[in-house]
């Protein structure tokens, strides 16, 4: 005659198995060593760029929050005269450096980055203008702009897009002097080579009363 275990014993065993399954016991889980990329950083298509954000990254957020939003690595951003702590992100086809203009070897994680550098071509500016658009297309979309240079690099800041500086592959000698008519001397085929978003309010007052000279 076969002796079956008491019903109480069966209930205990089932209860233990159920507890292990709901608690996520490693013994009952499939091994998965692949790191999961946050959904917000899985951008398909052109990455939106504006004075307020680069893709899912708000430019005024503390660096600690940025690193929670998207995988990033701490690094340094080099300029002609200085080196600044930064966080580097890769979203879509863009390389993004969020840096702090401080004399330090590491980022202040609870403070925002004050300077953002964006490189790459798979991006989209406000009003649907592709990052690969030429100067003629940019002027038609945004109108009045300030023009200047850092060493040999020519940059423009459209008054509709304050704090967003577009660096072009235009010849500086062709554009000077950097007066109100400089926008008309930039060759129509010039294109963006990098973008700087600065939280410093350089030159914004010059936009007041600046006439739109798209013709």
Task: Strands of 14-143 (E only): list them.
Answer: 47-48, 53-54, 57-58, 72-78, 83-91, 94-99, 115-119, 123-125, 129-130
Is residue 12's pLDDT more than 90?
no
> If you average pLDDT over every residue of the chain, what do you get?
82
Q: Is residue 6 part of a domain?
A: no
Residue 96, domain CATH? 2.60.460.10
* 197 within 8 A of 138, measured Cβ to Cβ: no
Residue pLDDT, tens place only, 35-66? 455 666 888 889 999 999 999 999 999 999 99
Note down the domain range covering 201. 39-207
Question: Is 180 a domain residue?
Answer: yes
Please, which pLDDT band fits residue 21 given cuts at 50, 70 and 90? Answer: very low
pLDDT confidence of residue 137: 97
Quick: pLDDT tens for 114-123: 999 999 999 9
Q: What does each C-alpha distance from 63 to 10, 95, 193 come to in angstroms?
A: 53, 16, 25
Classify burial at 87, counting beta carbons within 10 Å of its beta carbon; exposed 0-12, middle 13-18, buried 19 or more.
buried
The confidence band for 203, taking pLDDT boundaries of 50, 70 and 90, is low
pLDDT in the model for residue 2: 47
Residue 105 lies in a domain: yes
Whether 8 is in a domain gets the answer no
- Number of domains composing the chain: 1
pTM of the entire structure?
0.78
Q: Is residue 3 part of a domain?
A: no
In a domain, 2, yes or no: no
Q: Is residue 25 part of a domain?
A: no
174 within some domain: yes
């Amino acid at each position: 005659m076969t002796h079956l275990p008491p019903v109480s014993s069966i209930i205990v065993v089932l209860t233990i198995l159920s507890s292990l399954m709901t608690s996520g016991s490693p013994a009952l889980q499939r091994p998965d060593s692949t790191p999961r990329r946050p959904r917000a950083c899985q951008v398909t298509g052109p990455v939106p760029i504006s004075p307020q954000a680069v893709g899912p990254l708000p430019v005024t957020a503390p660096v600690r929050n940025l690193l929670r939003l998207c995988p990033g690595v701490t690094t340094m951003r080099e300029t002609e005269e200085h080196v600044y702590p930064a966080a580097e992100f890769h979203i879509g086809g863009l390389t993004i450096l969020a840096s702090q203009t401080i004399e330090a070897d590491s980022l202040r994680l609870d403070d925002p980055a004050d300077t953002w550098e964006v490189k790459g071509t798979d991006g989209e500016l406000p009003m649907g203008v592709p990052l690969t658009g030429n100067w003629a297309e940019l002027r038609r979309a945004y109108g009045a702009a300030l023009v200047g240079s850092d060493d040999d690099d020519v940059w423009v800041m459209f008054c509709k897009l304050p704090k967003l500086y577009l660096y072009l592959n235009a010849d500086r000698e062709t554009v000077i002097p950097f007066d109100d008519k400089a926008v008309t001397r930039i060759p129509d085929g010039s294109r963006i080579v990098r973008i700087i978003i600065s939280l410093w309010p350089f030159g914004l007052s010059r936009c007041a009363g600046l006439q739109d000279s798209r013709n």
